[in-house]
């Protein structure tokens, strides 16, 4: 089976004042359908940059990103946005829930943006909330939830449209250990059930150890994480 995600020669440069800093340096990688991959690295090593490039939120300075045979770097901004809505679910460290929307409205939003009718989108959202144990909070607002509850809602939102790729950027970074365990269990279980490729960025060796492959981002390239041995 061909890889779901192919990265070839990815380079990403940023201007910091008058100086240019290279975060990624000719990075190559392949990830398959249903695979669980963990990426570790120091703060500022480019982990979030890598996820943003795979999601099409940002573009590389050079190199190519292919997802399911489609060249992401050749798409327009609008094409990348529409592609991301259908193919990529993103779970952030800081949840990124919309405070003026209820829990069910937050979860239903990706479906509505994708053109699903309101009633059907709400039905799908309620079903997802049941699967992450948050159905009883459907009509609450985000500020009424704990950190772990917010992250469960964020997982439900990310997986609503059954995307083939799930990107998780430090999803347990703001949670205590017990709550982190609950959230990670939900995230990995639901990704596995949907045969999604889960790419987890984490500082935690414990969470990284649960992945099928572990990488470290060092000097702008992905290397096998030798600390996992």
* pTM metric for this prediction: 0.91
pLDDT of residue 44: 80
Give the Cα separation of 151 and 187 in Å (integer): 10
pLDDT of residue 11: 95
Give the Cα separation of 226 and 229 in Å (integer): 6
Give the Cα separation of 111 and 114 in Å (integer): 5
- Burial of residue 57 (CB within 10 Å: 0-12, 13-18, 19+) is middle
Helix (H, G, I), strand (E, B) or coil at 214: strand
C-alpha to C-alpha distances, 210 to 16, 73, 228, nearest whole angstrom: 36, 31, 10
pLDDT of residue 198: 97
Give the Cα separation of 87 and 105 in Å (integer): 20
Torsion 208-110-51-166 (CA) sign? positive
- Closest C-alpha among 88, 37, 30, 35 to residue 200: 37
Pick 5-228's CATH classification: 3.30.420.40, 3.90.1150.10, 1.10.150.110, 3.40.50.300: 3.40.50.300
Instruction: Please say whether the beta carbons of 169 and 91 come within 8 A.
Output: yes
Chain segment 147-163, per-residue pLDDT in tens: 999 989 999 999 999 99
Question: What DSSP line would sit under 132-195, residue for residue?
Answer: TT-GGGTTS-GGGS-HHHHHHHHHHHHHTT--SEEEEESTTTTS-HHHHHHHHHHHHHHHHHTT
pLDDT of residue 196: 94
Domain limits of the chain?
Answer: 5-228
pLDDT of residue 228: 57
pLDDT of residue 14: 87
Residues of the chain with pLDDT under 70: 226-229
């Amino acid at each position: 089976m061909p890889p779901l995600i192919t990265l070839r020669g990815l380079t990403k440069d940023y201007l910091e004042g008058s100086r240019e800093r290279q975060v990624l340096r000719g990075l190559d990688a392949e990830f398959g359908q249903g695979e669980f991959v963990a990426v570790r690295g120091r703060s500022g090593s480019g982990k979030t940059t890598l996820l943003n490039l795979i999601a099409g939120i940002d573009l590389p300075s050079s190199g190519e990103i292919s997802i399911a045979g489609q060249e992401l770097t050749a798409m327009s901004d609008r094409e990348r946005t529409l592609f991301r809505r259908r193919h990529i679910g993103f779970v952030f460290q800081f949840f990124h829930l919309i405070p003026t929307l209820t829990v069910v409205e937050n979860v239903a939003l990706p479906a509505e943006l994708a053109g699903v009718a309101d009633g059907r989108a709400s039905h799908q959202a309620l079903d997802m909330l049941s699967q992450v144990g948050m159905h009883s909070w459907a009509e609450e607002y985000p500020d009424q939830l704990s950190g772990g509850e917010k992250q469960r809602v964020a997982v439900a939102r990310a997986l609503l449209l059954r995307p083939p790729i799930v990107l998780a950027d430090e999803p347990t970074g703001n949670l205590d250990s017990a709550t982190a365990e609950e959230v990670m269990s939900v995230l990995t279980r639901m990704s596995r059930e949907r045969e999604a490729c889960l790419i987890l960025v984490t500082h935690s060796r414990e969470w990284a150890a649960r992945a099928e492959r572990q990488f470290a981002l060092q000097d702008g390239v992905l290397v096998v994480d030798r600390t996992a041995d």
